[in-house]
């Protein structure tokens, strides 16, 4: 058994040891401050911290991310719809352009049986003029359809200039050659007109009426432009789709 004196000494030693440990711990603490991350982690790993983090994630970050995803999807969808719509309109414009090109051929076919120097009667002349007028009206309507669709092409100014050049050349061809040719065929037998000049002009028209290379060239120019532009749009369509 320890005496009281011995007991007191042990207590004193234990007390001293505890004081030393405490002093050393405080010294270590002073030397090495606890890191911010450690503190945050400490707070975050607490019950309240976990509750707050959960709240932010479900209340703000997840909806924002979902909205952003939706926006991207919406933009892609709009782009796809636009490209699809535009491509459709360009393809339709090409079809209408091809139809517009057939009117000059129809007019040439109309006068083909009369491509000689034999005069035509007044009845024949009037009938041919009526048919020509009907074809011209249809041609103008068809041209107007094409004009309205040129806005869908990427370079409207270029498309409209090329189309205008073609229409200008075909209108000139019809009015200065076809209409004049028909009139001379009818009037050549009339007395009182300048027969020498009319005969010369008629012969020149017969020789030159098949000369349509400029018209064909201008038709090809607008057609080439349309085809190239449609091809570019088709490539864009594939990109927009996937």
Residues at the contact surface with another protein, assessed by CB under 8 A: 74, 77-78, 81-82, 85, 129, 140-144, 146-147, 150-151, 156-157, 160, 163-164, 167-172, 175-177, 179-180, 182-183, 187, 190, 193-194, 196-198, 200-201, 204-205, 208, 214
Least distance CB 191 / another protein (angstroms) = 11
Which C-beta is closer to another protein: that of 49 or that of 230?
230
Q: Please give the C-alpha separations between residue 8 and each of 16, 20, 229, in angstroms, as whole numbers.
A: 12, 18, 105
Which C-beta is closer to another protein: that of 7 or that of 71?
71
Q: Can you say whether residue 192 is alpha, beta or left, with left for phi > 0 and alpha for psi between -120 and 50 degrees?
A: left
Radius of gyration of the chain (CA): 46
Helices 213-241 and 156-172: angle between axes, nearest 10 degrees: 150
Least distance CB 81 / another protein (angstroms) = 5
SS3 38: helix
Is residue 182 within 8 Å of 132, Cβ to Cβ?
A: yes
Q: Is residue 64 within a helix (H) or strand (E), and if so which, with residue range?
A: helix 62-111
DSSP state of 115: -
Which C-beta is closer to another protein: that of 65 or that of 140?
140
Least distance CB 82 / another protein (angstroms) = 5
Which C-beta is closer to another protein: that of 15 or that of 172?
172
Which C-beta is closer to another protein: that of 55 or that of 208?
208
**Structure-block tokens of residue 145:** 């359809």
Is residue 133 within 8 Å of 117, Cβ to Cβ?
A: no
Helices and strands in the chain, H and E counts: 9, 0
Least distance CB 123 / another protein (angstroms) = 16
Least distance CB 37 / another protein (angstroms) = 43
DSSP state of 86: H
Least distance CB 222 / another protein (angstroms) = 11
Which C-beta is closer to another protein: that of 93 or that of 205?
205
């Amino acid at each position: 058994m320890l005496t009281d004196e011995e007991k007191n000494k042990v207590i004193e030693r234990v007390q001293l040891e505890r004081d030393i440990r405490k002093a050393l711990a405080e010294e270590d603490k002073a030397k090495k401050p606890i890191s911010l991350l450690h503190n945050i982690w400490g707070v975050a790993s607490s019950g309240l911290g976990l509750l707050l983090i959960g709240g932010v994630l479900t209340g703000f970050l997840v909806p924002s991310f979902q909205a952003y995803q939706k926006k991207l999807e919406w933009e892609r969808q709009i782009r796809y719809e636009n490209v699809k719509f535009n491509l459709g309109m360009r393809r339709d414009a090409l079809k209408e352009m091809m139809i517009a090109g057939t009117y000059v051929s129809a007019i040439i076919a109309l006068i083909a049986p009369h491509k000689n120097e034999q005069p035509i009667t007044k009845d024949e002349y009037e009938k041919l003029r009526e048919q020509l007028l009907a074809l011209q009206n249809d041609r103008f309507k068809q041209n107007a359809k094409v004009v309205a669709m040129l806005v869908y092409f990427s370079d409207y100014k270029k498309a409209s200039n090329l189309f205008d050049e073609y229409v200008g050349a075909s209108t000139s061809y019809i009015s200065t050659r076809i209409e004049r040719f028909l009139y001379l065929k009818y009037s050549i037998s009339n007395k009182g007109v300048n027969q020498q000049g009319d005969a010369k002009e008629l012969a020149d028209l017969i020789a030159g009426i098949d000369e349509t290379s400029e018209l064909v060239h201008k038709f090809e120019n607008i057609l080439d432009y349309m085809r190239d532009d449609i091809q570019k749009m088709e490539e864009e369509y594939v990109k927009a789709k996937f």
